[in-house]
Structure 1
Amino acid sequence: MDKELHQQNGDGQVRQGDTARQEDSGTAERFSRSGFIFAAIGSSVGLGNMWKFPYITGQYGGAAFFLLFTICLLLIGLPVLMAELTVGRGGRGSASSSLVRLSGRKIWGGFGVLSIAGAFFITSFYTVVAGWTLHYAVLTSANALGKGTDFAATFFSFIGGWWPVAWQAAVMLITGWIVVRGASGIEKFNRILIPALLVILIIIMIRVLQLPGASEGVSFFLKPDFGKLTNESLLVALGHAFFSLSLGMGTMMTYGAYVDRRQSLGAATLAVGGGDLMYALLAGMIIFPTTFAFGIEPAQGPGLAFIGLPAAFSAMPLGWLFGGLFFVLLAIAALTSVVSLLEVPVAYAMERWRLSRSTATVSTTVLCFLFGLPSALSVGGAVGWLHWEGKSFFDWVDFIASNIILPLGGLMVTLFVGYAWKHAAQEAGLTAGWFRLWLFLLRYVAPVLIVLVFLHTSGIWSF
């Protein structure tokens, strides 16, 4: 990196000529200001908002946990999010090269590759679940899941066959078709689907709030029960605040490289965090009224989405319509996240091996699909025997990526911006007071909390 980039004038700002040189380095792709907000919200809004967040909120005290989650979002989520965006815009490269350009040391690039690997692994199994949502969107919309269906048997029969591979391939094709168009394609995709996601959420929420017994679900979700807050609930809130914003996997560093230099990173960070909270809250206002109205246990994960809720929708008037909308909702949430995940290794491949975007996208898409095949077939399918210590291949890839690589990637970013990068202030564009607070959180608060989350989620230490 040119020495001039580190030189400042008397008022502490980078000189105009140096900014121009930095603007010309790295990728030439750019998001518009609003387009970046849509893309970043699309990355953060995923399947976890739809089924995990409502479940853990109800389990750990309803509104009390929501308040705790919001605090954790402010203390760890948003500071790390802004750190990733700042590194990306400052380095104007992949999640690896940006760190090298800003530090001048190749070792940081190795840490960046770890985050890129995490994004690759998550893409490989996340596309499998995204394929399930597409399959159920078609089934439900066609009214093929009628009342009286054995929904558990239907689901396990589906994931035990070969159809998940076909739907996984469909997700990969859609995602690759979007990513190959670069930042402009990703922006246009999210500009359409994120507002559509909001509209569908509101339509379904209005419908389920009219169900008998729905008010009990709303009360369970929003009534604070501070007696359920424990040390474990704190770590769960910290972990979800971290993971719900797509941190530690290189997505926000990669997207940051496409952010216009005139865009306020502070305002963008708050907008993304607010969008993540809003979508999670609306999801809870759908899940709990529905489960309480039909006496369904709000179990975490696929059991709720693919067994419990289809049963509920099949029992309500026009259930095929609202059930179809719900699975379209899940499919949109999954696709917007997969697009951001795939962009991470694609951007790295383009830069590392000097590939065109089309070549990098096709090769990365094929590799992700092939690596994801055992995940698609290990959950009761043809390679269901791929189990070790009670976990399938799918579970192990999820565990390694989500519980080990992501926290380490997030820790790396906090240490880099907090200690190694001496010129973060200029790129962040914060006032002196806000910068000192941000730096304090990155140096002394976020690393400790991330380590605690890592110890908890990895199973090394039970609290």
Structure 2
Amino acid sequence: MDDFKRPSADSGDDKAGGKAERFSRSGFIFAAIGSSVGLGNMWKFPYITGLYGGAAFFLLFTICLLLIGIPVLLAEMAIGRGGRGSPAVALVRLSGQKIWGGFGLLSIIGAFFIMSFYAVVAGWTLHYGVLTFSRALGEGTDFAGEFFDFIGGFLPVMWQLVVMLITGWIVLRGASGIEKFNKILIPSLVVILLFLMVRVLMLDGAGAGVEFFLKPDFSKLTNESVLVALGHAFFSLSLGMGTMLTYGAYMDRQQSLGSAALAVGGGDLLYALLAGLIIFPTTFAFGIEPGQGPGLAFIALPAAFSAMPAGWLFGGLFFILLAIAALTSCVSLLEVPVAYSMDRWRWGRPKATIVTSVLCFLVGIPSAISVGGAVGGLHWGPRSFFDWTDFIASNIILPLGGLIVTVFVGYVWRDAGREAGLTAGWFIVWLFILRYVAPLLIVLVFLHSSGILKF
């Protein structure tokens, strides 16, 4: 275990031997919310909500988030703060067993590969933001053609590089830089969300979209919808990928983990609600199918914005909104392997950030050029390199990472309750969920998302 030894978490020493990196109490909340809000809530959440009963599914999603998502989030935060390190290091430090370092490394690998393709999509949002504000987007009417021409070339690689440079610059500044970044961008995101929501609610036909979103249809709730809601609650909180655990290592000892977990869960829930109140009114007003995935954001909605007065402004704000959501998630994803490099090899933050960013960019290039077929031979079976990376990281590595967290806190780490700061009654409930409920449901979500379990 000598490789993982480090000065005490509260001694004032950080990963590289200098002053400890810490978030302020509000800084952690902003950073954690920034990690949880992402692109999925803009194009995946509306689709699954409409498919499984509107407000009925939203209620189910809320219940899953409260009963499973937040307890697992609390477990990740407790491990991070208790172990004061990246996933692999914190698990070894708290258990005293090297084998847990291998388990923790799984989530670090997952975060690295998710970052490699997530930066590609984040680059798309920046490109479209520039196009929309410059009024170059939509000069014709073939929005699908414009999108496929873009992803079919090498321009996405340039925008991927821009995203990596921005993300690396923020991470290079450490916990204080990440905190300042999120304290600026998260309030900005809320302002843009509210502004766009008010605008689209004024569209003719928007009321039908609001009714579709907020009117419950419990007849559409099925066994499958429970697993879908649980999976979205789990992944929308960035669980299983080591981000919340890594951020937890920068938390103040006096901060209430329970209150922090509730605040992060509430922020994620609010973002999902506002996203729905933007997407559904817009899609209904213009007769757009909300279940189009990325096509909704980069083809259908640009067409809708182009038909609005001052559509370049609202479309531009929409893509800035997507870019903010993407970049705040990118920062948390990159911080995971950077923190591990600092812990494991005692690298300084500059070296760890530069090396990790370069490797992540290089690994992400095949994803950037495989989506639109810029280079042949990057498809295997039904999926491109991009899709395979997404599938393996999101549907296999992350559920396993979440399962490791629940087993570790539920059965291995004896001081988890003290670190979490729970009363005796709440600790019993929390431990029961982590030992018996969450592992079973995570396995079911894993089997369903990987295509093994079908309904």
Q: Per the shorter chain, which TM-score range?
A: over 0.9
Equivalent runs, 1:210-359 vs 2, <5 Å: 210-359=202-351
Please report how far the alpha carbon of residue 385 of structure 1 lies from its aligned counterpart in structure 2 after TM superposition.
Answer: 2.9
Please say if residues 46 and 291 of structure 2, whose CA atoms lie closer than 8 Å, have aligned partners that are also in contact: no
Deviates more, 1:69-78 or 1:32-41: 69-78
Residue type of the alignment partner of 2:180: K
Secondary structure of 2:347's counterpart equals coil
- Summarize deviations over 1:107-154 as a string: whole Å, max 9, x none: 111010000000000000000000000000000111112365200000
Please tell me whether residue 109 in structure 1 is matched to residue 96 in structure 2: no
- Summarize deviations over 1:317-351 as a string: whole Å, max 9, x none: 00000000000000000000000000000000111
Please report how far the alpha carbon of residue 383 of structure 1 lies from its aligned counterpart in structure 2 after TM superposition.
Answer: 2.3
CA–CA distance in 2 between the matches of 1:308 and 1:148? 14
CA–CA distance in 2 between the matches of 1:385 and 1:122? 21
Secondary structure of 2:402's counterpart equals helix
**Which of 147, 151, 154 does residue 159 from structure 1 map onto?**
151
Equivalent runs, 1:427-438 vs 2, <5 Å: 427-438=419-430
Counterpart of 1:14? none
Residue type of the alignment partner of 2:176: S
**Which of 39, 46, 49 does residue 38 from structure 2 map onto?**
46
Please report how far the alpha carbon of residue 213 of structure 1 lies from its aligned counterpart in structure 2 after TM superposition.
Answer: 0.1
Please tell me whether residue 179 in structure 1 is matched to residue 167 in structure 2: no
**Which of 186, 190, 195 does residue 187 from structure 2 map onto?**
195
- Summarize deviations over 1:238-259 as a string: whole Å, max 9, x none: 1001000000001011000000
**Which of 98, 114, 139 does residue 131 from structure 2 map onto?**
139
Please tell me whether residue 23 in structure 1 is matched to residue 15 in structure 2: no
- Summarize deviations over 1:1-28 as a string: whole Å, max 9, x none: 99xxxxxxxxxxxxxxxxx954237642
Counterpart of 2:68? 76
Q: Which residues of structure 2 form unaligned runs of 5+?
A: none
Please say if residues 76 and 446 of structure 1, whose CA atoms lie closer than 8 Å, have aligned partners that are also in contact: yes
Residue type of the alignment partner of 1:410: G
Counterpart of 1:60? 52
Runs of 4+ in 1 over 3 A off after TM superposition: none
Counterpart of 1:7? none
Identity of aligned residues (%): 79
Residue type of the alignment partner of 2:454: S
CA–CA distance in 2 between the matches of 1:226 and 1:353? 53
Please report how far the alpha carbon of residue 381 of structure 1 lies from its aligned counterpart in structure 2 after TM superposition.
Answer: 3.1
CA–CA distance in 2 between the matches of 1:145 and 1:297? 21
**Which of 126, 137, 161 does residue 169 from structure 1 map onto?**
161
**Which of 396, 420, 425 does residue 404 from structure 1 map onto?**
396
Counterpart of 1:446? 438
Residue type of the alignment partner of 2:451: G
Please report how far the alpha carbon of residue 76 of structure 1 lies from its aligned counterpart in structure 2 after TM superposition.
Answer: 1.3
Q: Normalised by the size of structure 1, how large is the TM-score?
A: 0.95
CA–CA distance in 1 between the matches of 2:260 and 2:371? 39
**Which of 374, 381, 386 does residue 394 from structure 1 map onto?**
386
CA–CA distance in 1 between the matches of 2:119 and 2:227? 27
Distance 1:361 1:21, change over 3 A: closer
Please report how far the alpha carbon of residue 54 of structure 1 lies from its aligned counterpart in structure 2 after TM superposition.
Answer: 1.4
Distance 1:21 1:344, change over 3 A: closer
Distance 1:96 1:237, change over 3 A: same
Please say if residues 208 and 290 of structure 1, whose CA atoms lie closer than 8 Å, have aligned partners that are also in contact: yes
CA–CA distance in 1 between the matches of 2:372 and 2:58? 35
Please say if residues 147 and 314 of structure 1, whose CA atoms lie closer than 8 Å, have aligned partners that are also in contact: no
CA–CA distance in 1 between the matches of 2:86 and 2:375? 35
Residue type of the alignment partner of 1:333: A
Please say if residues 265 and 429 of structure 1, whose CA atoms lie closer than 8 Å, have aligned partners that are also in contact: yes
CA–CA distance in 1 between the matches of 2:434 and 2:292? 32
Residue type of the alignment partner of 1:313: F
Distance 1:26 1:95, change over 3 A: farther
- Summarize deviations over 1:344-402 as a string: whole Å, max 9, x none: 00000111111110000000000000000000000123224311121000000000000
CA–CA distance in 2 between the matches of 1:129 and 1:22? 36
Please tell me whether residue 425 in structure 1 is matched to residue 417 in structure 2: yes
CA–CA distance in 2 between the matches of 1:311 and 1:414? 44
Please tell me whether residue 369 in structure 1 is matched to residue 361 in structure 2: yes
CA–CA distance in 2 between the matches of 1:339 and 1:85? 17
Equivalent runs, 1:199-210 vs 2, <5 Å: 199-210=191-202
CA–CA distance in 2 between the matches of 1:206 and 1:30? 37
Please say if residues 376 and 394 of structure 1, whose CA atoms lie closer than 8 Å, have aligned partners that are also in contact: yes
Please report how far the alpha carbon of residue 426 of structure 1 lies from its aligned counterpart in structure 2 after TM superposition.
Answer: 1.1
CA–CA distance in 1 between the matches of 2:291 and 2:405? 34
CA–CA distance in 2 between the matches of 1:65 and 1:311? 28
Please report how far the alpha carbon of residue 278 of structure 1 lies from its aligned counterpart in structure 2 after TM superposition.
Answer: 0.1
